[in-house]
Amino acid sequence: MVKKTLIALFCMASTFVQSQNGTISPYSFFGVGDFRENGTVENQMMGGISMYVDSIHVNLRNPAAYSKLALTTYTLGVSHREYRLKDFNEQQNTSVTNLDYLSVGLPLGKGVGLGFGLMPFSSVGYNLISQSTNGDQQNVTNVFTGEGGLNRAYISLGFRPVKNLALGATANYNFGTLEYQRLQQVEGVQFGTIDNRESRINGFDFNYSAIYTPKIKDKYTLYSSVAVNTQINLVSKNSERIGSFSQETGQEIEVIDVDLDAQNLRNTELKIPTTTTLGLGFGEEKKWFMGAEYSFQQFSSFENRFLGQDNVTYQDAKSYALGGHFIPDYTALSGYFKRVTYRAGLRYDVTGLVVNDKEINNFGITFGLGLPLSGTITDRFSNINIGFELGRRGTTDANLIEESYFKVNIGLSLNALWFQKRKIN
C-alpha cells in the first residue's frame, strides 16, 4: 500500500513540477530564466555545499554520493519564498510556493547506488512596466510579462572502486517552454502593439563527480570533492506573433506569425557553459561536519539570440559556499533534540548576469533542522528537514530592482528496506 501511494505521489508531483510558476523575479526575464537550486534541503541549509555524503540521504548535486546509500530512499522538497521587491521609489511584497524536487535513491550492492527523479531547472515569471516619453511628448507604456520554465529529469549512478574513493555520473534531460509578451501603448493612439514569443526547449547535459574521504586518526574524516557539470546544449524551437490590439477592449486586431526562418531564428542553440565545483571539508562521522566549496563557470560565452535583449551582458560566474552540521548524540534513547541535526551556512553568488552595467549578485544565510521520525525498523532513519534562508539579490542602482527574500524549505526523506531480500529462519 505504501509503495502504491508513493508511486501515485510521484506521478502527481511530476505533473505539478511541470505546471507550477517557479518565480516572480524580474531577473527571470533574462537568459533562460532563474536557475533553481538543485540541491536537497539538507544541502541547501549548509549554504548549498554538496560534498557531504551519508547512507540515508540522496545528494542531487553529487552523483558519487549514491555509492554510500544503504537504504532505499524517497525524498521530496517543497519551498515557500516571501519576496520584497524594491526600486528607487517604491516596494512590493509577494510570494511563491514550489515543489523543488522528487527523487528516489536505490542501493544496488556494496558500494553501488542508483538515483532518478524530476526537478525544476529554471523558471520564468515576471510582470514589468516601463514608462517613457517619445519625441512627440506622448507617454509610452511597455508591459513585459513572462512565464514557463525548464524541468529536468535525471538518472545517476555512483560507485566506489576503491576504499575512500567514490565516483559518479548523472545524465540530465532538460525540457520545457518559455513564453514572453510585450505590450506597448502610446498615449492618444487607439491601438497598441503586441509581441508574443515562445521557445520550446530541450537538451541534455552530464554531471561527473569524485569524492575522496580518507580517515584521519581513525576518528575524523577529510572530505574532498570535484564535480563537473558539462556544457548544457539546448535546442530552442521558436515562434513569434506580432500585431495590434484595442487599448479600449484588449482584443487583438491583427496578429501575424513572423517568418523566423528568413532571420535564421526558427531553431537556435542555447549553450550554458560548463560549471566546475571544488570542495573541501572536515568532520567526525555522525557528529559534526564543516566544509567549503567554490564553483566557477565561463558564463560570459552565453547568449540568447532569439530574445536579443540590449541592456544585458554576461560575465564569468562564480559561487562561494560555507556550511556544516552538528548532531549532539545520534544514539540517544532519551532527549529527542539530542538526535536532531542542526545545519547552517553562508553563500555568495556572482551570477554572471549584468543588467544596465550593474552586476546582479546574491547573498544568503541558511540554517535548519533535521528531525528524525520514529517508527518501525523500515523507517527508523527517515527524517523531516526544515530549512530557512535569508537573502538579497540585485540592486536599486541604474533603475533596477533589489530582491530581499525569506525562504522556508521542507524536505521529506523516507528510508526503507523494501529492495533487500528477506531471510526465513
C-alpha cell at 7: 508511486
**pLDDT at position 415 over 90:** no
The answer to whether 50 and 39 are in contact (CB under 8 A) is yes
**pLDDT at position 245 over 90:** no
Angstrom distance (rounded) from CA 164 to CA 212: 6
* Lowest mean pLDDT segment, chosen from 7-21, 37-51, 152-166, 195-209: 7-21
> Sorting pLDDT into bands at 50, 70 and 90, what band is 130?
confident
Angstrom distance (rounded) from CA 11 to CA 5: 10
What's the pLDDT score for residue 253? 84
- The domains of the chain are located at 2-416
What's the pLDDT score for residue 131? 82
> Sorting pLDDT into bands at 50, 70 and 90, what band is 103?
very high
Q: pTM to 2 decimals?
A: 0.89
Please write the tens of the pLDDT for every residue from 28-84: 989 899 998 889 999 999 999 999 999 889 999 999 999 999 989 999 999 999 999
Give the bridge partners for 73, in sequence order.
Answer: 105, 415
Please state, in angstroms and as integers, the Cα–Cα distance from residue 202 to each residue in 123, 205, 269, 346, following that order.
14, 10, 10, 33
The answer to whether 125 and 142 are in contact (CB under 8 A) is no
Angstrom distance (rounded) from CA 149 to CA 35: 9
The one-letter code for the residue type at 172 is: N
In 10 A of CB 217, how many CB atoms? 5
Angstrom distance (rounded) from CA 179 to CA 245: 19
To 5 degrees, how large is the angle CA 274–CA 33–CA 243? 130
Please write the tens of the pLDDT for every residue from 132-189: 888 777 888 899 999 999 999 999 999 999 999 999 999 999 999 999 999 998 888 8
Q: What is the CATH number of domain 2-416?
A: 2.40.160.60
Phi–psi pair at 27, nearest 5 degrees: -75, -5
> Sorting pLDDT into bands at 50, 70 and 90, what band is 280?
very high
> Sorting pLDDT into bands at 50, 70 and 90, what band is 252?
confident
Calculate the CA dihedral of residues 17, 18, 22, 27 and round it to 10 degrees: 140
The answer to whether 348 and 363 are in contact (CB under 8 A) is yes
Angstrom distance (rounded) from CA 404 to CA 45: 18
Q: By C-alpha distance, which of 225, 226, 119 is closest to 172?
A: 119
